[in-house]
Amino acid sequence: MADVRQIVIDIISDIAPDEDVSSIDDAKSLREQLDLDSMDFLDIVMELRKRHKVEVPQEDYPKLASLQSCVAYLGPKFAAAPV
């Protein structure tokens, strides 16, 4: 099973290289802890699609709010995705 948490962190470090991703609180919203705006969330979605063929429709963007919710939401998608 893919390590969804690490996948999301890898993407964040690529799209926002100045952010410190080592001490993120999984339960707290990413926006509260990092300088991420809606453009960055679009990039997370686009990278998930580009790198892992995982689709996140626009109305589901709020489900990427925290690392915890990312894992909960993306976990089943990764499990179902062709690897």
Residue 2 is a binding residue for other proteins (CB under 8 A)? no
Stretch that binds other proteins, among 3-11, 12-20, 21-29, 65-73 (CB under 8 A): 12-20
* CA–CA dist 13, 10 (Å, integer): 5
Total number of residues that touch other proteins (CB under 8 A): 19
**Residues of this chain, 19-48, that bind other proteins according to CB under 8 A:** 35, 37, 39-40, 42-43, 45-46
* CA–CA dist 34, 43 (Å, integer): 15
2: buried, middle or exposed (CB in 10 Å: 19+, 13-18, 0-12)?
Answer: middle
User: By the criterion CB under 8 A, which residues form the site for other proteins?
Assistant: 14-18, 35, 37, 39-40, 42-43, 45-46, 49-50, 55-58
